[in-house]
Amino acid sequence: MPKNLLEQLRNYTVVVADTGDIEAIGKFRPQDSTTNPSLIAAAAQMPQYQPIVDGVLLGARKELGSNATDAAVANLAFQRLAIEFGKQILAIVPGRVSTEVDARLSFDTKATIEQARSIIGQYDAAGIGRDRILIKIASTWEGIRAAEVLEREGIHCNLTLLFGLHQAIAAADAGVTLISPFVGRILDWYKKDTGKSYEGAQDPGVLSVTRIYNYFKKFGYKTVVMGASFRNIGEIKELAGCDLLTISPQLLAELESTEGELPRKLDPEAAQSLHIERIVMDKEVFEFLHDGDRMATDKLKEGIEGFSAALVKLEALLAKRLAELEMVPAGH
């Protein structure tokens, strides 16, 4: 009997769940899981996770005291909430969870380092080893510099919002554990910019991740590639063999219900025979290449703004919920 596509994909690639929905993670049994501010905000509004949200809010209030504003408590609670969901997820997955630094710190190396250390400290206090946590940081030059410091401290990083080869090379040169190039968001940009539709191996997002993967394997980088942000299973099929792929529950279900052959497309040995020129990366080269790449410039900016907006919305929701909780008389 032929295997479904999800089973076959697992032969070549580590499958990761791209969600904050703990029930969905339990269903698909991924190796790892990733979250981001938008996913945490969505999960926090699901009724089944209300007890987690309420517990985190009341804990943050207790920590900051009765004089703290609801906004201050909500800000602390959102940081705690991502970690609480991370802890719940780690009880299900055998591998790692990615927890994101506040996107509003994306251009502040020092503040990114400080928040990453705080996140790791909270996981440490919960008895969760650093080998099970990836700190997600946006792939700005400042974020990559923060990741370089953190990796030297044994704090593993996942460089996200990654759209160009220049970002990937800078991250790998910094010794980061993992990068997350965004496939679907690259496709979105090109469709809007050109008015064309793209399929299969011609998908610009697929081409970008293939190029990054081959570059890393050609030059022996230890940094692994995790394709992210998929719009359809066609993109996933073209990247079979990538080190890891992080996939939404909806697309995981589609892969699981689809039968047929899934040949390996990315292969480290095949990359060795390719002619690829090495790029020596520094800040000047990074900025020159970034400024010359309209897609990467647009999508990095848009991604940081989108995640920041999701955090503002989540903090407002948490402040509202806190006010509701504090109106309930004790004992009820």
Residue 241 to residue 263: CA distance in whole angstroms: 9
Q: Which two tokens stand for residue 314?
A: 């989540």
- Using alpha carbons only, what angle is made at residue 205 by residues 237 and 281, rounded to the nearest 5 degrees? 125
For 82, 104, 117, 136, 141, the CA distances from 145, given in Å and listed in that order, are: 23, 16, 15, 13, 6
3-class DSSP state of 228: strand
**DSSP state for residue 202 in the 8-state scheme:** G
Contact 181, 139 (CB under 8 A): no
**Dist CA 156 CA 146 (whole Å):** 11
DSSP letters, 28-96, are H--SEEE--HHHHHHHHTSGGGHHHHHHHHHHHHHHH-TTS-HHHHHHHHHHHHHHHHHHHHHTT-SS-
How would you classify residue 220: left for phi > 0, otherwise alpha for psi between -120 and 50, otherwise beta?
Answer: left
Q: Which residues are catalytic?
A: 136
